[in-house]
Amino acid sequence: MPAGIMTPARNMGSMIGRNGNNNVAGFSSPSGLPFSQPSIMDAHLLPLDIPQNTSESDLARIRDDDFDSATKSGSDNNHELVSGDDQDPRPKKKRYHRHTQHQIQEMEAFFKECPHPDDKQRKELSRELGLEPLQVKFWFQNKRTQMKNQHERHENTQLRTENEKLRADNMRYREALSNASCPNCGGPTAIGEMSFDEHHLRLENARLREEIDRISAIAAKYVGKPVVNYPLLSPPVPSRPLELGMANFGPQPGLGGGDIYGSASDLIRSISAPTEADKPMIIELAVAAMEELTRMAQMGEPLWMTTLDGSTHMLNEDEYLRTFPRGIGPKPSGFKCEASRESAVVIMNHINLVEILMDVNQWSTLFSGIVSRAMTLEVLSTGVAGNYNGALQVMTSEFQVPSPLVPTRESYFVRYCKQHGDGTWAVVDVSLDDLRPTPGVRCRRRPSGCLIQEMPNGYSKVTWVEHVEVDDRGVHNLYKQLVSSGQAFGAKRWVTTLDRQCERLASAMATNIPTGDVGVITNQEGRKSMLKLAERMVISFCAGVSASTTHTWTTLSGTGADDVRVMTRKSIDDPGRPHGIVLSAATSFWLPVPPKRIFDFLRDENSRSEWDILSNGGVVQEMAHIANGRDTGNCVSLLRVNSANSSQSNMLILQESCTDPTASFVIYAPVDVVAMNLVLNGGDPDYVALLPSGFAILPDGGGGEGVSGGSLLTVAFQILVDSVPTAKLSLGSVATVNNLIACTVERIKASLSCENA
């Protein structure tokens, strides 16, 4: 062929058609055709792919049958191009040719299965129907455009119908409003007029609905199978001789706080993770609780009434029900309302504080004097953006007063954390008991928790709201005034405990320790180890001194002294306790002495010989101490008892004393000299065996035995009575411990009455 002569388009298309890929293996039916995108080569050659035997009548029919539709179809598929004839300047005589009914039916059937056939499918279809691939291509383009136009026409018809309906409704409403009258004055009302309250409620509902939708979306990302599942507690251990409750020491997996003795109560054991059907209700309840907590933390009168001395806030129940009419339902019969609010500035960053509150182990450790045990049943959401904003947790916990005379309060609730703005967070709890009504529930938590605001220099302002409904008929008369006044479980106790513990944590991280004072531990690692050991001692004491449902106290009667309650427990394979049978004994009584005087007396090593029978009259000397806060009474000490008998070895005692306006503790345990040397050098304190004993001192609530300003003192001892865990408990051991605690109580009363006189 001479240079410069181009092959006609029809001839080139014929050559390509014969030499191209004609492999159609596997073609069986429209539903079984392989799907693929046209190749780059195919896209470039399609405009010229017109075989020589294509008649002009066919081309004319293809181009003119639905020319407009074929032109519009270019937006449907970028790979499909228009006919090459559009580029040919030569005029053509247009003749029409209709497809047969059979061809149309086959292509219609194929279109239902595959509206975008590829080149290979078009060629196979054209071969079966006796058409050219380009004819098939244009038919499918036109068909797609036709379907699109039909769909748009249908949508337009629907929209016009809906628009007419809305116009009719609008006219009807306008006519009704024009005839409406004001219920207050009887005069006509203006269209669109809305009361301020109604407008406010509409805005509030819209905001709550938006938050529920947002939290639901967050939860949906994490919900499915439970993220965190914890095993339920073990079945009860058979009782031992003397009908004393016997349980095993030892850490329980997935449990925060202190030691768990024996089995859980029927309530806790019966509670499991929420079902899928419960989760939307839980989310909606949590969002409403967050709204309520935020408003209760910020509102003043008439919701909160200030007492005459201006020191506390009392909830106006009638105003509360008017302000928050929905909530978790009416107060159960026989239940009392306890509500309180308290604020304080604490030495902790707001982010760290949120992290502690949302971690069940850190939370129950920080509030070990209030939370005897806690567990997370399920995490519905871990939050977004790498923090706890939007976090949702379903939890159970047991709240306590450190005395066997006050029953613990069990609660099944959801905890929700939300960031309200830069540096402002809120954490709220609300009971879920209504989801699964359980007989024997004595406490319901209405929205309770705290609002946390960032302050300069790493401080935070915490506003705490504690709001519960409780059946407190099981409380001993000695503690009724303390409990009913809200001092036992109220917001002030939570806030003052938080303030004291924040100081303790700050002390543990302090590096500017003065070196001049004698006995001050300056070794940073040694300080951390000793504080960690003392923390474990305090947690163990608090978890074992209350009237928890996990262990049963046996009251010894006929002793002639205050009622003493005893309980035995086994210690097996626990490196943190001596091996064998441990006998616990506790008693609570009232003293006409202010709590601070009792606290100072019991923590002072110089007055220890007046009440501590086990020191055998030896001289007690403080070897080392770590200050834990502004109050000098908040400290961890290492004491040495120098025995008067030179043949007896000296004894070491680890002691932590802590005090705040709502509660004070002096807790101690004998420790091994070798083990303490390791701890003071930064060694692991978890393997130091401890059996803590000590005192819990509470105010009497203002009316103990008719005299104000007194104290409620709980004395608790733990004694290893046998190093063999399988040994039988003897009556002699019980009598010895009973005499020990009775003598200690008498000595304390005698010493303090002399001071008081």
DSSP for 448-460, written as a single string: EEEEEEE-GGG-E
Which of 607, 597, 611, 603 is CA-nearest to residue 742?
Answer: 611
Provide mean pLDDT across the span 38-52.
Answer: 37
Token pair for 677:
């040397």
- pLDDT by residue (tens digit) across 366-425? 999 999 889 999 898 888 767 888 899 999 999 999 998 999 999 999 999 999 877 899
Q: What is the pLDDT of residue 299?
A: 85
Residue of higher predicted confidence among 236 and 102 = 102
Contacts of 643 (CB under 8 A, 6+ apart): 616, 618, 649, 650, 651
Q: Point out the least confidently predicted range of 84-88, 403-407, 618-622, 710-714.
A: 84-88
pLDDT beyond 90 at 654: yes
Distance CA 685, CA 526 (A): 10
The model's confidence at residue 33, banded by pLDDT at 50, 70 and 90, is very low
Angstrom CA distances, 624 to 247, 347, 390, 672, stand at 35, 25, 45, 15
Distance CA 605, CA 651 (A): 14
pLDDT beyond 70 at 653: yes
Helix, coil or strand: residue 336: strand
The model's confidence at residue 234, banded by pLDDT at 50, 70 and 90, is very low
- Of all residues in the chain, the percent with pLDDT exceeding 90 is 24
Distance CA 543, CA 251 (A): 12
Q: Count CA atoms closer than 13 A to 689's CA, side-chain side.
A: 17
Q: What is the pLDDT of residue 563?
A: 81
Domain with CATH 3.30.530.20 in the chain: 273-508, 513-755
Which of 261, 446, 439 is CA-nearest to residue 336?
Answer: 446
pLDDT beyond 60 at 646: no
Q: What is the pLDDT of residue 53?
A: 43
Q: Point out the least confidently predicted range of 507-511, 706-710, 745-749.
A: 706-710
Whether the link from the prior residue into 302 is cis, omega within 30° of 0, is yes
Domain with CATH 1.10.10.60 in the chain: 105-153
- Eight-class DSSP state of 89: -
The model's confidence at residue 553, banded by pLDDT at 50, 70 and 90, is confident
Contacts of 501 (CB under 8 A, 6+ apart): 366, 367
Q: What is the pLDDT of residue 726?
A: 76
The model's confidence at residue 584, banded by pLDDT at 50, 70 and 90, is confident
Q: Are the C-beta atoms of residues 713 and 746 closer than 8 Å to each other?
A: no
Q: What is the pLDDT of residue 254?
A: 36
> Which class is 273-508 in CATH?
alpha beta
Q: Are the C-beta atoms of residues 294 and 430 closer than 8 Å to each other?
A: no
Angstrom CA distances, 271 to 51, 301, 430, stand at 77, 39, 16
The model's confidence at residue 657, banded by pLDDT at 50, 70 and 90, is very high
Q: What is the pLDDT of residue 165?
A: 84
Provide mean pLDDT across the span 287-307.
Answer: 87
Residue of higher predicted confidence among 258 and 599 = 599
Token pair for 320:
């509360």
Rounded to an integer, what is the distance from CA 637 to the centroid of its chain?
A: 36
User: What is the pTM assigned to this prediction?
Assistant: 0.66
Provide mean pLDDT across the span 223-240.
Answer: 35
Residue of higher predicted confidence among 237 and 479 = 479
Distance CA 25, CA 28 (A): 9
Report, at the CATH architecture level, how domain 105-153 is classified.
Orthogonal Bundle (1.10)
Q: What is the pLDDT of residue 576?
A: 78
In degrees, to the nearest 5, what angle opens at C-alpha 532 toward C-alphas 527 and 533? Answer: 100
Q: Which of 543-557, 644-658, 669-683, 726-740 has the highest mean pLDDT?
A: 669-683
Provide mean pLDDT across the span 535-546.
Answer: 89
Residue of higher predicted confidence among 709 and 343 = 343
Q: Are the C-beta atoms of residues 278 and 285 closer than 8 Å to each other?
A: no
Q: Point out the least confidently predicted range of 139-143, 414-418, 524-528, 597-601.
A: 524-528
- pLDDT by residue (tens digit) across 173-191? 777 766 655 554 555 554 4
Distance CA 570, CA 248 (A): 5
Helix, coil or strand: residue 597: helix
Which of 268, 245, 486 is CA-nearest to residue 376?
Answer: 268
- Of all residues in the chain, the percent with pLDDT exceeding 70 is 68
Provide mean pLDDT across the span 239-250.
Answer: 40
Angstrom CA distances, 76 to 115, 145, 146, stand at 11, 8, 12
Q: Which homologous superfamily is 513-755 in?
A: START domain (3.30.530.20)
Residue of higher predicted confidence among 467 and 85 = 467
Distance CA 602, CA 593 (A): 13
Q: Point out the least confidently predicted range of 173-182, 306-315, 437-446, 565-574.
A: 173-182
Provide mean pLDDT across the span 1-21.
Answer: 40
Angstrom CA distances, 347 to 344, 493, 508, 581, stand at 10, 17, 13, 42
Which of 597, 572, 595, 593 is CA-nearest to residue 582?
Answer: 572
Q: Are the C-beta atoms of residues 280 and 380 closer than 8 Å to each other?
A: no
Provide mean pLDDT across the span 25-42.
Answer: 38
Q: What is the pLDDT of residue 38?
A: 39
The model's confidence at residue 645, banded by pLDDT at 50, 70 and 90, is low
pLDDT beyond 80 at 730: no
